[in-house]
Amino acid sequence: MKKPQNKILIVEDELYLLNVLSDKFKREGFRVAKASNGEKGLQMAIKNKPDLILLDIVMPLVDGVTMIKRMRADERIAHIPVIIISNLSEVERITEVLGAKTGVIEYLVKSHWSLEGVVRKVEETLQVYNLLQQTNVKK
Global pTM value? 0.79
Structural domain boundaries of the chain? Answer: 7-138
DSSP code of residue 28: T
Protein fold of 7-138 = Rossmann fold (3.40.50)
- On the CB side of 59, CA atoms within 13 Å amount to 29
**What separation, in Å, do the N-terminal and C-terminal C-alpha atoms of the chain show?**
28
What b-and-e string marks burial along 58-70, b requiring 16 or more CB atoms within 10 Å of the CB?
ebeebbbbebbeb
Supply the pLDDT for residue 102.
53
At 73-122, the pLDDT tens digits run 899 998 898 888 877 655 555 556 555 555 556 666 666 667 788 888 88
